[in-house]
Structure 1
Amino acid sequence: MSHLVLLSGWGCDARIWQSLDGHWPTGVAVSAPDWPGYGARPPLDEPGDLAALAEAMSAALPTDAVWVGWSLGGLLAGALLDHLPAPRALVMLGMGPRFCHPQGVTEAELAAFRGAFRRDADATRAHFLRWQLGGEPAPRTAHRRLLDLLGRESPAATATLATGLDWLASLDVSRVLADPPCPVWRLAGEHDPLLAPEERARADIRLAEAGHCPMLSRPEAVAATLADIAQRPEHSLLEATP
């Protein structure tokens, strides 16, 4: 039995992955733990402490699984490779070695977003949820699906979300990805509005007719792609390592 651990991104809890229910093939076990501070999980005493985050997540991130981190979840999963035993493989969905990029979301744009978040956290998060869906073939339909899964209330306290924005501004896993302790696969929607064109081009797999949230627009393709990676033998997993 192959095991996938699905890790959500900024502003969304683990319910985002429910869009893949019904699309998994036999032989694949799936878990989707929340990050501390999301859903029913209490936040960390020091929310920005990666070592504390690793300790809190260790039981949910076994070494015999493939970790799948979407968006900020991919950046955090990459950072946790410095703190936890490596998994069979890491899949980074919709994320490069860092969030900001001169041809993608620039540092100035993220700084402006963080300023807006300090002024009105709820409205800014709602704006982000719509913005990230801009690359989907039917953004309004994808937005309705997202709200059906998550509702309109924030799944995390403002302090937890603010820490996530700090991580988006500061985390850089280039060093880890240059010499990874496990195979690393990068997946991207071919129209992801949050990824620079060169980052989309570097992806090992590009999902057609999808943006930053392909689990909403192309759930069958996402489930099939992740299951294929999880079910590969060890030597085949190495094919995607940079």
Structure 2
Amino acid sequence: MIPVEAYTRPVSVGLVAGWSFPASVFDPLVRQLRGDGVVALDWATFSADWLGAERQAHAAPIPGPAVWVGWSLGGSLLLEAVSRGRIRPTRLVLIQATPRFLAEDGWPGVCRGDWQGLRRAAERQPLSAAAAFRRRFELPSEPVSNTRLADTEGLDWLARLDLRDQLASIAVPVDIWLAPDDPLVSVDWPKHIELPAHVHVHWFDRGGHAEWLDHSAALARSMISPLADVPGVRSSG
């Protein structure tokens, strides 16, 4: 396996985390990308800075990283930012994310009733709801200490966004990473959209919603150079 340090072409990478998680969840990936101008953000910071109402009046995109990477809710927010013209990356990486989170006829997603149950719990006791959410889906279980990251606004983003048409017509090259045992993001959703040729899907052989944490080196390499053969990963192209 070629160490990431062997690649010399610099990149600028922005990372956006999922609901309830701090930016530090990306520490394993940041370590792989050290020296490449990496910035990690939680979803609430990205939402406020790139999608907030005060930004909508500006026509020009906000300067930012060349490569944007989002996990779960972070990926959905990045797609929304591209759709609005708030970011114009040279590449987008969606890690176990989906253009539409909730299920509907013909679309695999999370049941609206399950989403409503989590939202009610987060509205009452956000930290406890986030901890229970992590336990249920076997996600990294470090204590949730920031109520802002477990705010219902993040869940509302997930319910509101439907970016299937935008992804089908996106001009930005996109890499999508999915896992077959992910209980929150269906591994089959790309079958329901006619994706352009510059959107490539990569599948982990197994794993839950945080499977990417076991593949941080492969993810780092894929951001710096074309994806090579990596054990535990299948690719559409």
Query: Same-fold call, TM > 0.5?
Result: yes
Instruction: Give the TM bin, normalised by the shorter chain.
Output: 0.7 to 0.9
Measured in 1, the distance between the counterparts of 2:169 and 2:54 equals: 20
Alignment of 1:1-242 (within 5 A): 1-24=10-33, 28-37=36-45, 44=48, 49=52, 52=55, 58-59=62-63, 61-62=64-65, 65-81=66-82, 82-102=84-104, 103-133=108-138, 146-147=140-141, 151-157=142-148, 161-199=151-189, 204-228=201-225
Offset of residue 188 of structure 1: 0.9
Where in structure 2 are there 5+ consecutive unaligned residues?
1-9, 193-199, 228-235
Hey, what's the Cα distance between the residues in 2 that align with 1:125 and 1:109?
14
Q: Relative to structure 1, is the Cα distance of residues 36 and 52 closer, same or farther in structure 2, using a 3 angstrom cutoff?
A: farther
Identify if the C-alpha distance between structure 1 residues 37 and 161 changes in structure 2 by more than 3 Å, giving closer, same or farther: farther
| Alpha-carbon distance change, 210 to 91 in structure 1, aligned in 2, over 3 angstroms | same
Shift of 1:193: 1.4
Q: CA deviation at 1:75?
A: 0.4
Q: Deviations over 1:19-69 (max 9, x none)?
A: 224434x8844221344458xxxx959x984663897x934x33xx11111
Tell me how far 1:167 sits from its aligned partner. Answer: 0.4
| Partner-residue secondary structure (3-state), 2:176 | strand
CA shift in 2, pair 1:52/1:175, >3 Å: same
Distance 1:53 1:164, change over 3 A: farther
Q: Could you say if the C-alpha distance between residues 124 and 72 of structure 1 is closer, same or farther in structure 2, counting changes exceeding 3 Å? A: same
Aligned length: 208
Amino acid at match of 1:211: G
| Cα 1:197–1:92 shift into 2, 3 Å | closer
Change (3 A) 1:67 1:169: same
2:62 counterpart SS class: helix
Structure with the larger helix share: 1
- Please say if residues 189 and 211 of structure 1, whose CA atoms lie closer than 8 Å, have aligned partners that are also in contact: yes
Normalised TM-score (structure 2): 0.72
Give the distance between the partners of 2:81 and 2:224, measured in 1 at CA: 23
Conservation of the 8 A alpha-carbon contact between 1:189 and 1:206 = yes
Residues 20, 215 of structure 1: 8 Å contact kept: no
Secondary structure of residue in 1 paired with 2:38: strand
Pairwise CA distance, 1:153: 3.3
Amino acid at match of 2:213: L
Q: What is the letter of the counterpart of residue 41 of structure 2?
A: P
The Cα shift of 1:191 comes to 1.9
